[in-house]
Structure 1
């Protein structure tokens, strides 16, 4: 099961992902995964009852502890941005960190019932919140998002989005709308963002992406017709690039990086 609020930590060594504000707490000489008994975590003792088990890391239980907006009162603590933490860890660590952040966002944003406004209570047997007044129950939100690498002969389409870091180019992506299939979403997003048609669409892989709760579903496709015409809103620049003249692209741990590599390999 995804995460069980009833899996409370016992006093044995476990890994801890401690969140403060929108960042991870790192202690001196440790990674973002803090290996400790819960009795050794005095600086977060008041939050221990809210710990949530988010799986295992290196065959050891791993718990998420959310300090919300409180800064850690620890002389050797520093705050690490989530993106920086994700980029510095391996695949197993990425999945656990992504899960921990998504659980934290869910619990932060579901304190009150969206139907009647009453205070929500955590459910013991599953990761959910429940309103005892109107019986409304909420589960963690997952937003499906497509991402596609498009190839034209020996070149790949790469675009610079409004929210990309300066100089970063990537594949096209967008959220799936209500009533759409994944394939319909790919065709629509490509047409809306760069004005071309694609063909030979095929599924590649998926990856959870915790900004804040996306599930990226990757596709490979080929150019069919049309010239690039960016929308100027989501996409600011786009062009076709050969493998030996790529701009700055996402790292290979990300699904965008793997899509780029796979498209240029074929």
Structure 2
């Protein structure tokens, strides 16, 4: 998980149908949300770029990196493209900007027309918002808040196996926030729904933007309070308590899940 503040070298701005200049950093995505990189695995600068098959009607200016323009574009080409997971292992700095870029790109692409009346949306002059000129409906970039929690029970960590995991891996409890509930209420509900127990001493730890596809992860720790583990066998097929030495860490530290698990291990037995 990246500790660095994205705004150390990046400043926000937003314009549509932007004219590329020769020194623009180009974050170019294909239909699979994969990012084009140079042969040296770098973000291309426009005047050095070999790729020409991108959509000239979809160029979004999203700010500056060290005074250089940052532009998002689309393409139908498939060569030299990499997933965001791959980019994270190559460059944390580029991953941070690419995560923002793909979320803006997805929002702009899917909100061309107003979902209320069907009119063509226009870009607001002040905020990063698309607005319908006919009915006034406002369309902000979509962010889906979700919680994730590391639950301690006398030095053991609760981990669950999800039915959609292709491997035999276990992870900590997570889920989306429902309409009308607070973040804290979402934690209590998700834990009770997924594993049938109650928790106490809920403590917020930190957050993470998670562009898969558009989540904001809010990380917590908590202690076991009462109840017996009970899973539905559908979404969650197993859950149990793990001693720190029994936990297998993922090879990548990209997620807040890894950060919470590592923090639990360090708290109880030191570095593993």
Aligned to 1:65: 73
Aligned pair in 2 of structure 1 residues 28, 228: CA closer, same or farther (>3 Å)? same
After TM superposition, the score normalised by the length of structure 2 is 0.84
1:43 matches 2:52: yes
State the aligned residue count: 257
Counterpart CA distance in 1 for 2:215 and 2:162 is: 17
User: For the residues of structure 2 that align with 1:250 and 1:3, how far apart are their CA atoms?
Assistant: 35
Query: Unaligned 5+ residue runs, structure 1?
Result: none
1:167–1:247 CA contact under 8 A, matched in 2: no
Any conservation in 2 of the 1:150–1:221 contact (CA below 8 Å)?
A: yes
The corresponding residue for 2:192 is 191
C-alpha displacement of 1:112: 1.4
CA-atom RMSD in angstroms: 2.5
The aligned residue for residue 245 of structure 2 is 244
Distance 2:136 2:173 in 1: 40
Deviation of 1:45 after TM superposition, in Å, equals 5.5
State the match for 2:5 in structure 1: none
Separation (CA, whole Å) in 2 of partners of 1:137 and 1:59: 30
What does residue 80 of structure 2 align with? Answer: 78
In 2: Cα distance, 1:250 partner to 1:260 partner = 13
Displacement of 1:136 after TM fit? 1.7
Where does the alignment leave 5 or more consecutive residues of structure 2 unmatched? Answer: 1-10, 268-272
Q: 1:17 to 1:264 in 2, by over 3 A?
A: same
Deviation sequence 1:32-60 (CA, Å, 0-9, x none): 5223338x56614542x532233445664
1:12–1:78: structure 2 CA closer, same or farther, 3 Å change rule?
closer
CA distance in 1, matches of 2:17, 2:203: 40
